[in-house]
Structure formats: structure tokens, C-alpha cells
Structure 1
Amino acid sequence: MNDERMIRSLLREAPPSADVVAEGRRRLYAAPPRRRRWRVPGLGIAGLGLAAAATAAVVAVTASGPPPASEHAPPKAMTARQVLLAAAEKAAGEPVGRYWHTHVISGQAYHVAKGDYVIDGARHELDQWTARSAEDDDVFRSRFAGAIPQTAADRAAWRRAGSPTVWRVLSNGQYIRQTAAPDRWDLVRMTPAEKNGYEKLVARARKQCAGHPQGCPQQQLTQAQREALADDPAALRQRLLTTSGKGGPSNVLAQAGDFLAQPGSPKLNAAVFRVLADTPGIRNAGSVTDLRGRTAIALTARATDTSGVFDTQLLLQPGTYRVLGTQTVLVAGRGAETAGIKPGTVYTEQLFLEMGWTDSAPR
């Protein structure tokens, strides 16, 4: 029987307050009951009768066994839908700044047979500021970053293998060269005049493709078209589905990560999270640590292709629910591309070191 119900049944007057019941439970479960006189702070003389009744009820409860399991059970983890709706609420309140700044690094796992370890290769780093105003410059910096052993265990195996700085690894059916030496940064600055010229070029291409859709790739949305999707959840969902190829939940998660990495209003970003919240097949895989050592909530969907079974994960920062990136984790490998790579390895990643609106000037 519930102990609070027992307490209430022993009283002819009004039931004891929540404070009285809580104090009775605390004393019951902290130590074996014994005859003693006690006083609950704040009750005063008038409350002593209720306290005594609660004590008697607490003593009686000891004969019925341990407390209900629900009182000591850990809180249930949030579902993926709950996390995504919380993320939508947070995104809706984010401020807008002068620039949309993203610093992203992406890579892929490659197995090195000599030494039996994994490197994170094909690492591309992009650092860009996209101005909200057409009167400000856009700034882009990019480079190929050097390949590195992926985990602490891989670093140890790499050292045992002689700490090589060049590797020959299999990628897309052929062997490619990977090196630990990073490239120089490539800097591009677009002035307002150059941005205007680029927009005219894009507009001309759109017009040409309108008459010959079969010969043109899917067109990038203009900023105005992207923002219009915030008021049309069905169109936003369709955009994420069609752009993601197969349209499964894992592809939608990856596409949503790309979509959120582009400049967007708080309203649009919140709408993306709400669309994900209504997408079946996404689960909360709990807390993970990304390749940068950051703790993240992993919203996950599983998919299979010719290389094996993978979990695609959208990584959110606990508490703020800001996007930390996306990654695919190997569940079961198949074929030469994943040979030697253990389940649980991060196979591909796109991690955001910085992402969001800022008033800081490009640096």
C-alpha cells in the first residue's frame, strides 16, 4: 500500500502537509524506526499532533516492506522527440547577429593494416563568415587538414608502428595517399559587388535549368526560399526528404545537419527541429563523446549500405541543444572499405567547432 495513503487513512482531520509526509518518509528510510520525540521545523505547537500521527503511520509502514520502487528509480531519459522539441524551443530564442559563422571539420576513418589502427583522414576544414547584410563582405577559409590517428588506442598502435606520417589507404575502390601534414589555408573574400555578380550568375543558371530540368542538378534554395519553409512544415519536410536521396530517417538527420549549418533565422532553425521531432525512426542513443572530446546527445537512426550497417547521429550539446555536428558510427562492416574497422568506430564525421550568429568581425 502507498505510505501516503496509509498516513491519510489514520487521520480523521485534514491530511498532513506534504512537508510532514516527506519528513516521515525521510526518517523511515534513513534508519530503523525507534521510539523518539521529534519536531518538524516550521510546524509550531499546532503541528505537533499531525507530526505525531505521521510518525505513527511511518512506523506502521515498516511492516509492509521497502518503499515503492518508483520513489528511488532514476529519471527516465528523454525521448528523441522530447529532445528535438526542447531544441526547437531553444533555437527559437537564439539572437541574430551580423554574421553567420561556421567552423567545421569533416573526415573519414581508414584502417591501416600495418599496425592495425585507424586514422581520421580526408579531413577538410572550413571556416566561414556569411554576412546577414548585402553591404558586408563574406569571408571563407578552407584547407585540407592532416590525417591523425583517431583515438587514444589508435595513437598507441601508431607509435608502436613507428609513428608514420604518410599512409596508403583504400577509398572508393582504389588506394589513395593520406598525409599528416596540413595544407595552407585558402582565403576567399567576396565583396558586396562580387556577391551581387555571383547572385546574377546563379539566377541565370536557374532560368536555364527551368526549361531543361533533367540536365540540371537540384538547385540550391535562395535565402528567401529557405526562410519561407519556416511557415510551411510540409514543404520543409519534403525538402529534407528529397535532398537526402533515399529519404530514410538516417539521411534526413544528415541533411538536417547540413541545413542547420547554413544561415537561418531562429524561426527556421526551430522549424527544422520540429520536423525532425515528427520523423519516425529517430531515437535518443544517450550521451556520447565526439572526436573532439565533447559530450553530446546523440539522436540516431540506423541505415544499411554496401559498406555495412551504420548509425547516423545528429549531435546536440546538452542543455543548450546547439548542433555540434553529425557523424556515422559503424555497427557492422561489410566488404573491403570497412575491413579491419571495429564496430563502434566513428566512420565519418562533420563536426562544428563553432556555429551560429555573431557580431564579431571575420578573423
Structure 2
Amino acid sequence: MKFVTTPARSLIALGLGLATVGAMALPAAADTLNLRLTAATRSAAAPAQGAYWHTKLLRTATHPWQFGKGTNRYWLEEQRVFERWTSPDGKVWAGQRNLGVHPKSAADEEAWRRDGSPITWKRPVNGSTVSLSTEPDKGEVFPMKGQATFRLAEQRLSYEQLQRLPADAAGLKTWLEKAARAAKASDDIVDSYVTASLTTLLRDLPVPKEVRAAAYKLLPTMPGVRSLGTIKDSQGRTGEGLSIDHGQTRLKVGTIASTTKVIVDTDTMLMLADSLTTTINGKPFMNKNWTETTLQVGWTDDKPSVPALP
């Protein structure tokens, strides 16, 4: 394919995830993977296995502002469900629902009780008012505006082009490096560009399982990536963990460092969860710390709708 030249956007650590608590709706495991399969041997694009490629993620994050009065100060944890439906022609619908907030830890809960156990909070921030509640909101679902294509490494691809991506690690790396340079990424961020694209392939795009397997095989070989061995996600599911160190950035406000942790189901080659940890001058940067758990991922015929409560 001919690569489109676009300005490279700054790369920040990726966040990922969404599902129904309990069971994860993953496609059934395929036969033994053939990692030598190449794009050339897959000249015919595989048909979609449903009306939409669907992801449902549960994001958990600590609210950046502390609440309470006096010595009764506490942190609140927010949970939000995000869903995304993408049709084979590239049209996208998004859904989201705030599940409410609750004290982050046992110590926070004690302080919250001493504060009178409020169930709603309002706080002025930068000219607007932040409103929080322990109750879920009604949620929403809406079509996404923009060009109906799939986006990978700043390239806009059709479903057929996604199916023909290289399914071997070396070929996939070469393709992503060419895409990064076409997007005018400087030499010092090409590897970061490739790494970010590999995590995208492990959940967000309807690529063949062989391509996801190639992405998983390539990911541990990238700079800053190390294996964490077999670990469990927040749902108790077991997968292979990888840590991605994004390095440090020095800004006027201080030194920012971030790391992403991903957990991959190596049977389906799909991401179970990912989390972003960011610090500023060695202390947690609350706006950039979260965990996303994949609740559902795969093909579905169910039409886009407001996310249900877990």
C-alpha cells in the first residue's frame, strides 16, 4: 500500500480496555498459530464475522482532586464504561457510562465517613464545576464523526487492508516503521511509534489473529519493554504481562515519567487489561494514572446501545 504522509502526533502512553463483570466475551481460540504466514499468502481478505468489531472497557482511575474537610481528607475512585462498535466499512459508534465514585481505600472510606458520608460532591475547577456522585449516570451512545476508515500508525486503512497486514514479526515491524516515517516521525521516536501501534493491534482493530500474534511476538523485543511473566488482571484472569517504559520528559512543571503495563491472553492474542502509571517529580500524577480492563472484545451482531451497568 502507499503510505500517507501526515504530521506525527506526540506519543503518550496508551490506555486500553472494557467488559461485563465476570465472563469475558472473547472469540474462540483458533488452531495452532502459523507465525510464518505472510500478507502475500492472504491475498483474499477474510470476511467479517459479525456486524461490528466491539470492545467494552472498564476504566478505573483516582479523581485528581482530594475531597473532605480538615483532617477528614480522602481520595475518590471513579469507574467508567466505554464501548466502541466499528463496522467493516469503518463507521464507528461510541458509548460511555459513568458508574459513580467511591472512596479509594479503607483509610479513605474512614475519612469519608467522618466527613458525613456524602453521596454527591461539587467543586469549582478552572472556571467550571466538577460534579461527582456515587450513583451511575444514564450513559450515552453516539456515532463518531469523521472519515470512515481504520486508523493505525497515522495511516487510514480499509478493512481489507487490515486483513493484509504482515503476519510475521519482522514484516510487521518494517511496515510500522515505514508508516512512522511517512508520518514524519523523527528517528528518536520511531520505536515508540511502533510500540504504541502494537498495543493497538492487540485489541482495538479487527485484524486476523495471526497479525495479533506477530504483534505480541514483536512487542517484547522493542526498547523499554520487559516481560512480567504470568500475572492476573482485576477480574482474576491469567495472562502474560509486559511492562512498557516510556521514559522521562522534562517540562517546566517537573520531570514526568510513565509506564504502561499490559496483560495479554496468549490463547486468543487479545489484551485482557492495561494500566498507565505516571509520576511527576516522583509523585503520582493523578490525571495520568488509570487501569482499563477488557470486559468484551470481538465480533458482534448486537447494535450499538447505551452501556449496561456491570
Q: 2:83 aligns with which of 117, 127, 132?
A: 127
In the alignment, structure 1 residue 141 sits paired with structure 2 residue 77: no
Q: Deviations over 1:119-164 (max 9, x none)?
A: 334x5532233334x5x99754333443444455544544444333
Correspondence for 2:49 = 97
Could you tell me whether the CA contact under 8 Å between 1:91 and 1:269 is conserved in 2?
no
Question: By percentage of residues, which structure has more strand?
Answer: 2
Shift of 1:261: 1.2
**1:314 aligned onto 2:262:** yes
1:78-93 aligned within 5 A: none
Runs of at least 5 residues in structure 2 that lack an aligned partner in the other structure: 1-31, 38-46, 306-310
Amino acid at match of 2:49: G
Q: Is the 8 A contact 1:298 1:315 kept in 2?
A: yes
Q: Deviations over 1:43-100 (max 9, x none)?
A: xxxxxxxxxxxxxxxxxxxxxxxxxxxxxxxxxxxxxxxxxxxxxx76979x962132
Q: 1:224/1:319 Cα in 2 relative to 1: closer, same or farther (>3 Å)? A: closer
Of 185, 190, 204, the match for 2:139: 185
Contact 2:56 2:82 in 1 (8 A): yes
Of 232, 240, 244, the residue aligned with 1:301 is 244
Change (3 A) 1:157 1:126: same
Give the aligned residue type for 1:227.
Q
Q: What is the aligned partner in structure 2 of residue 269 from structure 1?
A: 212
- Structure 1 match to 2:225: 282
Q: Give the letter for the 1:282 counterpart.
A: V
Given that 1:300 and 1:311 are in contact with CA atoms closer than 8 Å, whether structure 2 keeps it comes out as: yes
Work out the CA distance in 1 between the residues paired with 2:159 and 2:264. Answer: 24
Which secondary structure does the structure 2 equivalent of 1:261 belong to?
coil
Query: Which whole-Å CA distance do the structure 1 matches of 2:236 and 2:128 have between them?
Result: 30
The residue that corresponds to 1:334 in the other structure is 281
Q: CA deviation at 1:273?
A: 1.9
8 Å Cα contact 1:90-1:321 kept in structure 2? no
Question: For residues 151 and 296 of structure 1, what CA distance do their matches in structure 2 show?
Answer: 26
User: Deviation at 1:304?
Assistant: 2.4
User: Larger radius of gyration, structure 1 or 2?
Assistant: 1
Contact 1:297–1:315, Cα closer than 8 Å, also in 2: yes
Paired letter, 2:262: L
CA deviation after TM superposition for structure 1 residue 326, in Å:
1.9
Corresponding position of 1:64: none
Q: Does 1:166 align with 2:110?
A: no
**Structure 1 pair 130–161 and aligned structure 2 pair: CA distance change class (3 A):** same
Q: CA deviation at 1:286?
A: 4.0
* 1:350 and 2:303 correspond: no
Q: Distance in 2 between matches of 1:357 and 1:278?
A: 30
Number of residue pairs matched? 242
Distance 1:91 1:357 in 2: 22
More helix by percentage: 1
Specify which structure has the bigger relative contact order, considering alpha-carbon pairs within 8 angstroms and separated by 6 or more residues: 2
Distance in 2 (CA, whole Å) between partners of 1:329 and 1:198 is 32
Measure how far apart 1:275 and its partner are. Answer: 2.9
Matched-pair contact (CA < 8 Å) for 1:96–1:358: no
| Letter paired with 2:121 | V
For the 8 Å contact 2:220–2:242, the answer to whether it is kept is no
Gapped regions of structure 1 (runs ≥ 5): 1-88, 203-216
How many angstroms apart in 1 are the aligned matches of 2:110 and 2:270? 33
**Contact kept? 2:260, 2:275, Cα under 8 Å:** yes
Report Cα offsets for 1:249-289 as digits up to 9, x if no partner: 67755543334312222233223223314313211234555
Question: Aligned-pair RMSD on alpha carbons?
Answer: 4.7
**Equivalent position SS for 1:262:** coil
What's the TM-score, normalizing by structure 1? 0.50
Question: Kindly tell me: are residues 91 and 218 of structure 1, through their superposed partners in 2, closer, same or farther at Cα, counting changes over 3 Å?
Answer: same
- Report the counterpart of residue 227 of structure 1 in structure 2: 163
Task: Quote how far apart the aligned CAs of 1:184 are.
Answer: 2.3
